[in-house]
Structure 1
Amino acid sequence: MPRDQSAGRAPYRIGMVIPLQGPGGIFGPSCISVCEMTADELNSGDGVNGRKVEIVYIDGGQAPQAVAAEIGRLIETSGIDAITGWHISSIRRRLGPLVDGRIPYVYTSLYEGDERARGIYCSGETPEQQIFPALSWMRDNLGIRRWYVVGAKYVWPLRSLRKVIDFASMLGVEIVGTTFVPMGHGSDPRLPAAVAAGDCDGVLMLLVGQDAVDFNRSFAEAGLAERITRYSPLMDESMLLASGPEATGDLYCSASYFSSLTSANALDFLGRYISARGPSAPSLNNMAQSCYQGIQTLAELASKSGGTRSTDFDRVIDGLTFTGPRGVVRFIGNQAVQPVNLARADVFDFEVLGTL
């Protein structure tokens, strides 16, 4: 059985599932760097309910069944007390039935929404929070109504697209075409070719990490970046750098966190990160900050409930509210609601245009 308060001063071991390979591997260094900072900060105080925090890294870039097998072994051997981290929905769907409330699981990634499994607390953005208001803003401010969708062929892109289609009339937009490819195929030449033939005003990108980088490059090489706007709910500073300046023009993103946010909490977080990890540390981004928020959520739940089990957290999750780099985060049921910002790519950084 997992450790609980009776374990006294035993370390509180957090299984951190983050991609270290594959399309999402581009986020791995930033996620690890932020996690190390967060653990150090907690351990300079009371840890989690008096227990020193230890991070156990699990490679979320493996196949979902391999991740589930590793997590299963760790749970059975009491090797971890909780799970969090940024990883794709295909992994979460494998872990949900496996975890089933045995240990708490804070899922930090933006995702398709509507997670109801026991013991899973979702702190990432949903399409209703993130994509819908961005499409409405771009309709009103840029006149973009006709969208072509390119995406990876797995749960988050496919379910998010279904929601956009269901609410298209309310959003005042039209989906004129879609092309989906397997993960790892962002350079597929069918993607820019389909967009070019799609008679669209904008491209909704539902691609992950290096796949989005590869698409950005081929999109620019096809001459499309000069005449068609792109919007992605999953784009970070490292992806801009990897794409190159010629491939990031007229590219928009919405997210709850950008490293260029100028709120007091965001600037404080940035300052602490640079102080702790040094000026040459991997760049901050939404994915890495979400790992901080995952650990912060576990610590807040433990503090409020006085325990560390899923049953303890279930009692207090609804209405849990705290303030962090994203601003005020409040849980309604098991889902966090938080400010979402719209930004435009500015070479290798993001210019935040405002809160949606």
Structure 2
Amino acid sequence: MTLDARLVDPLDALHLPREGGAFRVGLVVPQSGPLGLTGPSALDGALLAAHEINTRGGIHGRPLDLVLVDGGGAPRPVAAEVRRLLDAGALDALAGCHTSDVHRAVETVAAGRIAYIYTPPHEGGTRRPGVLCTGTDPSGQLGIAVTELTQRHKIRGWALIGNDYIWPRSVHRAAAALATRAGARIVLERRIPFGAVQPAVEPLLDELRTARAGALLLSLIGRDLVHFNRALRRSGLDRRLVRLSGALEENGLLALGGDDTGTLYAAMPSFATLAEEPRQLLGERHRALCGPWAPVLDAYAVGLYDGLQLLAALADRHALEPHGLARAAGQLLHGAPRIVHLARAEGLGFTVLPPLHAR
């Protein structure tokens, strides 16, 4: 099977004519930076969606092309690249998965001008016209996980360690409220700049020992999350602490080398959380198009796949106008809240756990 989808370089999008009058979607995906290890999977998810949309006839008879913007840089340069493309009329829509600080910067240049679908878990709050978040906010993401782990493992104290930007701050606020309602308390909270985990890790491990936390919520992302989990393993704290992450997906677990403690959990809508039949069919289509050695499908890949399919459905309804986007999307999605189920790392994969009250 041949992949019917094209990636376009931003410079080509600025200076070359569109082949076949293509409908161009700016795809803002990290190819570098803290989330760079997730980029290949996310790109595969987007390419799979673009292929399926094109085999159905594209967007109103126009082929769908993806203009790849590296979303792994600092917020301002990424937003500046998006602004250049928008000012040149080179994009018809935007989709992406990247950190929330990049998202907020891109939002400022895209709002009111174009439909922009942002697919990962996000920090919550309001959005400007034309900006649609299809992921979950911290309360929706952690609501089941923090409560169930506190009860299951009889946790009395939680530690919170994350990167220092908008999403972990919101995650920590939500986690503190959820832990308190579940009868636990926060005994330690630390936030670390991107890339600073390795020099800070030993003092952090000492603080964890002193705080005597029973559980650790990690809102570190990408490579920082991998580095910290490796440090926990070397110290032996991985077997003393229940660990929960809102950003651990298949790539991060593979980079960690898997986990056999039985106490590493993810509250991330990963590939594993799809129902069995859709998961199997999506995996089969991915392998048929991208080959057996393609990157694993993960939460970012599935989110972008769904986001681009939603974008195509909105286009079919002529509903991409920024000021009506949220209402039109709500009609398609039926306004149903997304529930993130708790998954436990087992070896190199995840097993989704049923709620406590269901067992």
TM-score (norm 1): 0.89
Aligned length: 336
Please give the alpha-carbon distance, in whole angstroms, between the structure 2 residues aligned to 1:252 and 1:224: 15
Q: Structure 2: which amino acid aligns with 1:38?
A: A
Task: State the partner residue of 2:239.
Answer: 226
Q: Which has the higher strand share?
A: 1
Amino acid at match of 1:317: A
Q: Which runs of 5+ in 2 are unaligned?
A: 1-17
In structure 1, list runs of 5 or more residues that go unmatched.
Answer: 1-6, 322-329
AA aligned to 2:325 is F
CA distance in 2: counterparts of 1:258 and 1:145, whole angstroms: 31
Report what 1:133 is aligned to: 144
Q: CA RMSD in A?
A: 2.0
Tell me how far apart the structure 1 counterparts of residues 273 and 170 of structure 2 sit (CA, whole Å): 30
Closer, same or farther: CA 343–53 of 1 in aligned 2, 3 Å:
same
Which residue of the partner structure matches residue 214 of structure 2? 201
- The answer to whether the 8 A contact 1:148-1:195 is kept is yes
Question: 2-side partners of 1:354 and 1:255: how far apart?
Answer: 15
What CA distance in whole angstroms lies between the structure 1 residues aligned with 2:259 and 2:307? 35
Work out the CA distance in 1 between the residues paired with 2:355 and 2:63.
36
**SS of structure 2 residue aligned to 1:130:** helix
Which structure 1 residue ranges, 4+ long, deviate > 4 Å from structure 2? 246-249
Q: Which amino acid aligns with 2:350?
A: F
Please list, as runs of the form range in 1=range in 2, the aligned pairs for 1:1-356 lying within 5 A after superposition.
Answer: 10-187=21-198, 188-189=200-201, 190-245=203-258, 249-259=262-272, 261-303=274-316, 305-321=317-333, 330-331=334-335, 337-354=337-354
Kindly indicate whether the alpha-carbon contact (under 8 Å) linking 1:220 and 1:246 is maintained by their aligned counterparts in 2: no
The answer (yes or no) to whether the contact 2:159–2:216 under 8 Å persists in 1 is: yes
Contact 2:144 2:341 in 1 (8 A): no
Q: Aligned-pair distance for 1:127?
A: 1.4
The residue type paired with residue 313 of structure 2 is E
Q: Displacement, 1:307?
A: 4.3
Which structure has the highest helix share of the two? 2
Q: Do the aligned residues in 2 keep the contact of 1:108 with 1:122 (CA within 8 Å)?
A: yes
Give the Cα–Cα distance (whole angstroms) in 1 for the partners of residues 273 and 25 of structure 2.
28
Amino acid at match of 1:253: A
Identity of aligned residues (%): 34
Give a deviation string over 1:264-284, Cα, whole Å, max 9, x none. Answer: 222211111111111111011
Give the CA deviation at 1:312: 4.9
Please state how far the C-alpha of 1:163 moved relative to its aligned partner: 2.5
Give distance in 1, aligned partners of 2:156 and 2:98.
31
